Amino acid sequence: MRIANWIPSPPSTIMNGPPDVHMDDVEDVNDSPRMPIQHHMLLPIPIPNTKGGSLRSAFLSDFKFVCLYLTEKLVPSLLQLIGGREEKREAVQKPARQIINFLTQFNEILVLAGADLDLLESAWSGNTLPNDQTEPEASEQFYVLMEASCYFDSSWNIVREISCIAVSKSAFRLLASYANFVARHSGIERLPMNERICPRDVLWNCIECLRSGSPWHVLLSTINSTLLSIYPLPELQRPDFTPAVEALGFGYVRSSRVRQFMERYLKLRLWNLIKRPAVTRHELRAALSQGIGRKQSIEMKTRMQKEPPQSADLSFKRSSQQLISIMNKEQHDCARCSRCVQAGESETSPAGHGFLGQRILPEMSAYGVAPSRIDEWIQWVPARD
């Protein structure tokens, strides 16, 4: 497909703002929540409006942090939302068992301090929590499972995301009490031997490695929908000896396990009241015996519905994001990356990605796209917007 046929003829090819609007009058990028406008504001040249939709710049990435964050204080709030109106024991027992089983199925699990989790979110998405929210859990240890991914969102914006499940040790014990396993749970008994305490400097090296990457490498990672599991190195070889964590390794996976599991809890909402609750025959017969009609019975049952808990603490949903402009000079260098050097030659970097990393790297245009590849890319990427 030729570019001349892809872009409409002038004057509709350029998205110009009103004549009286200047770049100095436009609000800062961090104050604007949506990317399509920001793409036009940040680039020094106007972006064509094409028949297939508007262009996106590979210079802009949305760094997103999503976490299911459970402390001893937050576990009751989570289970209260799951239990709903009926407050049956089985309603909270099942999710508690699911979380316990998910955490204990792995041979190794990272252990991070609460302060290091805050550092991870702050360094990745720029979000900093108030001290009164972070101080109580700063020194507490958390079981952590992490994944890193790079993908296009529904508007073809590049998203670089860290997804993690973080459960404090005290919250884990509380979940185990709610789970109330009848038989001995080998995973719970084995968990202390599977703990891998991650030092702050090792975590920081991992963050820097994941953040690095030229616009071209990031674009390739996004096209490939790269998904990485993050695990401690060196790996456990003997059950009677646990080596210190020297680096965090990356493993390519086809489908997400962490994000898929935690989204079922992050998408929880307070239940809605039933507008017209059903009245059983037994309830109606009892009401009629007292001289109460069907309509009155429904009205009474509507009033008796349990209201959703207004005091429910939703802090277990931690999500933040920040739009960041990256440059060519930020390309990943395995020889200088502390994580890659420490991990060894057997470890792959987030900028490799198999055959994609072996392509000839072209010069980037002012649009943040590769002119020599744009025809090829346009042909197989469907337009959205």
* Of residues 78 and 328, more confidently modeled: 78
Name the range with the highest mean pLDDT among 31-40, 71-80, 299-308: 71-80
Tokens of 64: 């997103």
> How does residue 71 score in pLDDT terms, banded at 50, 70 and 90?
very high
Q: How many other β-carbons are positioned within 10 Å of the β-carbon of residue 229? A: 17
For residues 88-99, give the mean pLDDT.
84
Average the pLDDT over 173-190 and give the result.
91
Lowest mean pLDDT across 50-59, 71-80, 93-102, 138-147 = 50-59
Burial of 93 (0-12, 13-18, 19+ CB in 10 A): middle
> Which pTM value belongs to this model?
0.71
Q: How many CB atoms lie within 10 A of CB 315?
A: 15
Q: Which amino acid is at 288?
A: L
Higher pLDDT residue, 216 or 26?
Answer: 216
Q: What is the DSSP letter of 18?
A: -
At residue 302, the pLDDT reads: 65
Residue bearing the bigger pLDDT, 258 or 377: 258
Over residues 149-160, the pLDDT tens digits come to: 999 988 888 999
Q: What band does 204 get if pLDDT is binned at 50, 70 and 90?
A: very high
Predicted local confidence at residue 266, as pLDDT: 85
pLDDT tens, position by position, 105-148? 998 999 999 999 999 999 998 877 666 555 666 789 999 999 99
Q: How many CB atoms lie within 10 A of CB 168?
A: 22
pLDDT higher at 32 or 219:
219
Please write the tens of the pLDDT for every residue from 325-366: 877 667 777 888 888 888 875 555 554 443 344 344 444 434
